């Protein structure tokens, strides 16, 4: 197990190193002239050159990459141009809020989608199965800001049940915070529901048709015991892998949902950095998101390997 | 078999196709059926709710929302297919090259693709479009670029089986060039999975272009792009919800149409 973990960790580090080169290339080499982007088309050439020199952009590209990445590794992620503050503390503070929203969405999504998949799989083609499949697919195909708008119009404005403002007032308790975050979280849940639901459902269908299930039924076990003791374990394993694969959509969804609901997380920070052409902040946000996403994926893979006896024993 | 046979057997596919046709038709005919030009302002009639004069209401500049929604269909119609074609082309070239040359070429290509896919798509597009500049052409290019790695994986997986076959060995021994073998011999045999991948990507391209429009990275104001309309009018959501609701519903209509078509096709494949 330890060797497996180390191997995956090494692979992740290589991927992140290449990703950091890509971020660097896209934010500093590709645009050609950062000073021009920051100052706009009407600034004088001298001003542009001065800014480029001040930011050290007139040096060789490998030197600049080394400068940036060694700063990143020692905790100096540079200065935000638009907010005039250090990038790393700001990004970390915003990341905390985003993780709260993401965890909330996952905590709603995983049990509900799995339960719905299990129920639908038991009665394939039944009313619940069909309605849930159609509703799930419809929202799964919709961009999360469209779902968010529909939620706001229905629950925020017409019914007036939920606050439209995602950020709770200062000093709000946990319940109030969760109430404010419910609509943003639901936008993410509806985006990801269909895939997870389908995996759980098809896992159920496969395992219910398996020989060992027939044996269990024929030897007289009550259906609830058959499902709980025999079917669920095998049916849900593939579903867990899918959760890992969905994290990318969840993170991307954060950028959009936070912007729609005006929630100050890492996603809306990155959007603001893009709007303001704040290149150091943009690069920092992209790097932080990629690192967190990479480790979350790794964690999902490890949980899967640990839960799956076939993989677990092969490693020992 | 009559041409209508598959449609009658799959109502899902039929409904999806009707919806796609309705969207393409309204987008194409927008100049003739829209009651006003999408950028016509009427400062005497701002933020009006839906009425017989303005079916979908007006926005903060008094522009007719129905007209803007009708014209807005044109952006997605141009962006999604073009981006998908670019993604398919790049992805196929990369995937086939990796499969054919194998060894270190394959290894390097796959590591780079892994790194590209280590970014969530929206993050990657946000980075690229900020530095390239926001425009319709760049949106098409960037969506094509971020889709390429996924398509490359499909192409590589399909081609790996083919490059080991005798007919490829024979072509190699005849002294054909790699480019010739890949385009004339291998490509025709991996076309099937790539067509399926392309249909799925087309739906995602609609999704992604709407999202990039919403993030302000696509066409710029005053263009009537649906995603852009949602974000422009975001502040009016509580006071004039129709300014946001109708463009959002238009996006929902198109993505649902595509998902019905993709589902109908998938169901036919497995049936």
Residue range B140-156: mean pLDDT, rounded = 91
What share of residues in chain B are helix, strand, coil (percent, to 5)? 75, 0, 25
Per-residue CA distances from A33 to A29, A127, B129, B132 (Å)? 8, 59, 15, 11
With an 8 Å Cβ cutoff, are B245 and A164 in contact? no
Report CB contact under 8 Å: A137, B259. Answer: yes
Top pLDDT among A156 and A229 is at A156
CB pairs under 8 A between A and B: 141
Residue A101 CB partners (closer than 8 Å, separation 6+): A181, A184, A185, A188, A254, A257, A258, A263, A265
At residue B82, the pLDDT reads 94
pLDDT beyond 80 at A307 = no
Closest CA relative to residue B255, chosen from B29, B80, B8: B80
Q: What is the pLDDT of residue A140?
A: 85
The A residues from 82 to 111 touching B (CB cutoff 8 Å) are none
If contacts are CB pairs under 8 Å, which of residues 63-102 in chain B contact chain A? none
Chain A, 18 to 77: residues with Cβ < 8 Å from chain B are: 18-19, 21-23, 26-27, 30-31, 37
Mean of the per-residue pLDDT values for chain B? Answer: 84
CA distance A270 to chain B (A): 8
The Cα A274–Cα A282 span in angstroms is 6
Q: Which of B131, B237, B266 to mutate to test the interface with A (most CBs of A within 10 A)?
A: B131
Contacts of B238 in chain A (CB under 8 A): 156-157, 164
Tell me how close the Cα of B235 comes to any Cα of chain A, in angstroms.
10
Q: Do B131 and A138 touch (CB under 8 A)?
A: no
B113/chain A closest Cα distance in angstroms:
9
Q: Which residues of A touch B118 (CB under 8 A)?
A: 15-16, 18-19, 290, 293-294
CB contact, 8 Å: A4 with chain B? no
Considering Cα of A10, then A250, then B138, then A269, what sign does the dihedral take? Answer: negative
Give the residue from A243, A234, A296, A242 showing the smallest Cα distance to A12. Answer: A296
The string of pLDDT tens digits covering residues A93-148 is: 899 889 999 999 999 998 898 889 888 888 887 888 888 888 888 888 888 899 99
Please report the pLDDT score of residue A188 as a whole number. Answer: 93
Among B130, B123, B116, residue whose Cα is nearest residue B87:
B116
CB contact under 8 A, B259 and A274: no
The total of other beta-carbon atoms located within 10 Å of residue A254's CB is: 29
Distance CA B65, CA B42 (A): 12
How far from each other are the two terminal CA atoms of chain B, in whole angstroms?
A: 17
* Structure-block tokens of residue A126: 């039944």
* Cα of A220 to nearest chain B Cα, Å: 35
Interface of A with B in 283-312 (CB under 8 A): 286, 289-290, 293-294
Residue carrying structure tokens 């970014």 = B119
| Terminal CA-CA length for chain A | 6
User: How far, in Å, CA of A35 to CA of B66, rounded?
Assistant: 41
pLDDT band at A314 (very low <50, low <70, confident <90, very high): low
pLDDT over 70 at B269, yes or no: no
Residues 126-185 in A contacting B (C-alpha not used; CB under 8 Å): 137-138, 140-143, 145-146, 149-150, 152-153, 156-157, 164
CA dist., res. B98 & res. B111, Å (int)? 11
Q: Model confidence at B142, in pLDDT bands (50, 70, 90)? A: very high
SS3 A30: coil
| Closest by Cβ to B131, choosing from A27, A251, A294 | A27
Facing residue for B126 by CB, picked from A37, A150, A274: A274
Burial (CB < 10 A; 0-12, 13-18, 19+), residue A200, is: buried
**Smallest Cβ distance to B123: which of A14, A142, A252?**
A252
State ipTM: 0.81
For B126, half-sphere exposure in the C-beta direction (CA atoms, 13 angstrom radius) is: 34
Q: Are B147 and B169 in contact (CB under 8 A)?
A: no
DSSP state of A255: H
Percent of chain B with pLDDT over 70: 94
Give the model's pLDDT for residue B85: 94
Is A140 in Cβ contact with B227 (below 8 Å)? no
Average pLDDT value for chain A: 83
B57 touches chain A (CB under 8 A): no
Q: How high is the pLDDT of residue B6? A: 62
Please write the tens of the pLDDT for every residue from B70-88: 998 888 888 999 999 999 9
pLDDT tens track for B1-56:
566 666 667 788 888 889 989 988 998 888 888 887 887 777 777 778 788 877 88
B131 and A18: CB-CB below 8 Å?
A: no
Q: Smallest Cβ distance to B248: which of A30, A31, A149? A: A149
- For the stretch A244-297, pLDDT in tens is 777 777 888 888 999 999 899 999 999 998 888 888 888 899 899 888 888 888
Distance CA B158, CA A186 (A): 38
Read off the pTM. Answer: 0.84
Asked if the C-beta of A252 comes within 8 angstroms of chain B's C-beta atoms, the answer is yes
> What is the pLDDT confidence band of residue A186, given thresholds at 50, 70 and 90?
very high
Q: CA B108 to CA B97: how far, in whole Å?
A: 11
Answer yes or no: are the C-beta atoms of A222 and A100 closer than 8 Å: no
**What values do phi and psi take at B58, rounded to 5?**
-125, 160
Task: Kindly state whether B12 is in contact with chain A, defined as any CB-CB distance less than 8 angstroms.
Answer: no
Q: Across the strands, what pairs with B64? A: B58
Average pLDDT over residues B142-150: 91
Which span out of A31-35, B92-96, B219-223 was modeled with the highest average pLDDT? B92-96
Q: Is the pLDDT of residue A315 over 70?
A: no
Place of tokens 């950091």: A20
Contact A139, A219 (CB under 8 A): no
Secondary structure (3-state) at B2: coil
Contact of B72 with B224, CB cutoff 8 Å:
yes
Q: CA-CA distance, A70 to A64, in Å (whole number)? A: 10
């Amino acid at each position: 197990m330890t060797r497996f973990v180390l191997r995956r960790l090494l692979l992740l580090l290589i991927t992140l190193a290449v990703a950091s080169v890509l971020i660097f290339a896209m934010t500093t080499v590709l645009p050609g002239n950062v000073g021009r982007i920051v100052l706009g088309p009407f600034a004088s050439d001298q001003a542009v050159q001065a800014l480029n020199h001040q930011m050290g952009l007139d040096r060789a590209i490998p030197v600049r990459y080394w400068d940036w990445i060694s700063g990143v590794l020692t905790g100096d992620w540079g200065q935000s141009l638009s907010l005039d503050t250090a990038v790393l503390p700001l990004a970390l503070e915003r990341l905390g809020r985003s993780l709260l929203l993401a965890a909330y969405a996952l905590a709603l999504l995983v049990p509900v989608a799995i339960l719905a998949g299990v129920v639908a799989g038991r009665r394939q083609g039944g009313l619940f199965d069909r309605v849930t499949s159609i509703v799930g697919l419809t929202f799964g195909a919709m961009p999360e800001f469209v779902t968010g708008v529909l939620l706001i119009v229905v629950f925020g404005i017409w019914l007036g049940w939920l606050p439209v403002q995602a950020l709770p007032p200062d000093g709000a308790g946990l319940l109030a915070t969760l109430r404010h975050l419910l609509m943003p979280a639901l936008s993410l849940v509806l985006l990801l529901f269909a895939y997870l639901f389908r995996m759980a459902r098809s896992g159920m269908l496969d395992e219910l048709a398996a020989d060992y299930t027939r044996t269990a039924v024929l030897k007289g076990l009550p259906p609830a015991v058959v499902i709980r003791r025999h079917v669920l374990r095998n049916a849900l394993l593939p579903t867990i892998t899918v959760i890992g694969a969905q994290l990318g959509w969840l993170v991307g969804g954060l950028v959009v949902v936070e912007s729609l609901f005006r929630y100050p997380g890492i996603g809306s920070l990155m959007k603001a950095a893009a709007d303001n052409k704040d290149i150091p902040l943009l690069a920092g946000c992209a790097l932080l998101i990629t690192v967190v996403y990479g480790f979350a994926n790794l964690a999902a893979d490890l949980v899967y390997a640990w839960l799956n006896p076939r993989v677990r024993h092969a490693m020992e | 078999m009559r041409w209508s046979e598959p449609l009658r057997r799959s109502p899902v596919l039929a409904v999806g196709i009707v919806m796609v046709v309705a969207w393409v038709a309204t987008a194409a005919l927008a100049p003739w059926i829209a009651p006003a030009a999408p950028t016509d302002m009427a400062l005497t009639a701002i933020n009006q709710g839906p009425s017989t004069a303005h079916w979908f209401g007006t926005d903060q500049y008094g522009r007719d929302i129905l007209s803007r929604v009708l014209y807005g269909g044109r952006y997605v119609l141009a962006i999604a297919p073009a981006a998908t074609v670019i993604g398919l082309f790049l992805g196929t070239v990369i995937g086939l090259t990796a499969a054919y040359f194998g060894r270190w070429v394959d290894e390097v290509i796959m590591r780079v693709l892994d790194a590209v896919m280590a970014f969530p798509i929206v993050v990657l597009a946000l980075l690229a479009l900020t530095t390239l500049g926001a425009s319709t052409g760049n949106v098409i290019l960037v969506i094509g670029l971020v889709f390429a790695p996924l398509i490359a994986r499909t192409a590589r997986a399909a081609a790996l089986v083919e490059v080991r076959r005798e007919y490829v060995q024979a072509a190699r021994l005849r002294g054909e060039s790699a480019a010739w073998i890949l385009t004339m011999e291998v490509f025709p045999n991996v076309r099937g999975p790539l067509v399926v991948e392309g249909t799925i990507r087309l739906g995602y391209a609609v999704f992604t272009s709407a999202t990039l429009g919403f993030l302000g990275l696509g066409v710029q104001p005053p263009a009537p792009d649906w995603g852009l309309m949602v974000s422009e009018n975001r502040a009016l959501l509580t006071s004039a919800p129709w300014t946001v609701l109708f463009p959002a519903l238009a996006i929902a209509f198109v993505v649902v149409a595509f998902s019905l078509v993709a589902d109908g096709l998938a169901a036919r494949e497995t049936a």
